[in-house]
Structures are given as C-alpha cells and as structure tokens.
Structure 1
Amino acid sequence: MVDANNDIIVLQSSGLFDDVINGVAPNTSFYANDVEYKYGYYLVEGIYPEWATLVKTLSCPDDEKRLYYKKKQESARKDVERAFGVLKKRWSVIAQPLRILEKSKIRNVIRAGPMVLY
C-alpha cells in the first residue's frame, strides 16, 4: 500500500495532465459505444481519484459481458506495468528521480523511450 499512496502523491503533484489542460495533448481520439473521446485514458487501480482520464476496473461485474471487460482491462493494465518495468531496467533515467531536467525535457525522455523499441 505504500507504493499506492506514493503513486497518488506523485500523480497529484505531477504535470501529467498539463498538456490536456493546456489543450496541446496529442489527439488520440477514439470511439466507444458511439461516443467520440478526444484524448486517451489511463488504466488504473481502484485507489485513484475519480478523474475522467483515469479508468478503473469494475469492482463488482454483474454479468458475463462486464466480467469479460474487467478481465481484459486488468490484463492490459498488467501488460503496461510489465512493459514499464522492462523500460526502467533498460533505461535507468526513468527508474531514478529526475532532478535536473525541466518539464519539457522530462516529457521528451518519457515519450522517446517507447519509440526506441521500434
């Protein structure tokens, strides 16, 4: 639970959603149930705040369709966590606290990491 509390503190003090707030986030629009969403979202555990861009797992799915959704969502979240673990091992710059970089450089480091995999 210590890590979870730390995640929330980091989330609330970070500039993760600055681009969305400032209207300069990459356009990652998609459709779900005939509704267009302009920005992406993050798959999170139930402890995170109720923000539109944070999608939590269903706590008590009451039918097969929702149970299937819950399993797929949890699987996707775990895949992302594993991938980030691999990135942290490969590039120590994202495993350690960043102390000397300004926000724009931090964004570039985080965005460039996955591109190096291609």
Structure 2
Amino acid sequence: MRRPLFYRIVDDVTANDEYFQRRPDATDRQSLSPLQKCTGAMRVLAYGTSVDAVDEYLRISATTTRDALMNFVDGVISCFGDEYLRKPNKDDLARLLHAGDQRGFPGMIGSIECMHWEWKNCPSAWAGQYAGRSGKPTIILEVVASYDLWIWHTFFGTPGSLNDINCR
C-alpha cells in the first residue's frame, strides 16, 4: 500500500473514532499512537495472522490488537462504506456496460479472474480436500473487477467448488 493512502485511511479513521485518538491512560502516560493501532489492524487483515503475531513488532498486546482490529473495521466501514463498500447502482451498471460494449464485450460488467493461493498453514487433516492442481493445499479467489479497478464481486472457495474452466 502506498504511504499517502495508508495515511489517508489512518487520518480518516482517527478523526471519526475516539478509540484511535491519542490520550492519557489511567497511569497518565500517553496511549498508543493511531499509527500503531492501525498498523496492527492492517497487518492482521493483510497477512491473515493472529492478533498476537504483531505484539513484538509493534509492542501491542493481543487484546489491544483485537480491539484495534474491531474498531478499525467499523471505522473503515463508517468512513468509506458509502463510496467503496456498496453494490453497483443503475448508473454504475450503465457505465460499465457501455465501457464493455465499447471494448467489444457487450453485456459484461467487468472481467472475472480466478487464482489459486497456496495455503501454507493448512491443517494436515484438511489438506486432501483443499488440494489444488499443484497437489498442495490451495484456496481459490474469484474476483470480478471493472476496468477502473473497482471490485464488484469476490468469492473464496475450495478447489473444485467453481465450475469455471479457468479455475481448475
């Protein structure tokens, strides 16, 4: 993620949620910075790790990271939900269908992409049912994205759960 985008998210979430604002704690010491709390939440979301995986890196307890994660998700939804976390409306669909028609793909709102992600920490008892084409445990991500990089649909599933020829 680019630094200006990261700072924009941190600034907007901090401005709208008291939890992220720095203030003295019960011992009159300054609390953790908004950057620490947001970084911890984003690392847990980005890497899919547990909340105690960032404690040594950011000097935050697992409980604080969990609280920051919950508040961060609520903050992102309240700050950016109306613009970025919504279904396409009639105007969006008309614009996307027109762009698809201009490019020679009438009736298409975006391109679909399927990719296999290797699941490094898959429990050995589940490894067989998540085995992909490489024989290693994988999870499939299906995405429909428009030409302007808006993601309109995502789906995580197991190998063989989709009937698309590109996902085999």
Give the TM-score taking structure 2 as reference length. 0.24
Give the TM-score taking structure 1 as reference length. 0.32
Higher alpha-carbon Rg:
2
Judging by fraction of residues, say which structure has more helix.
1
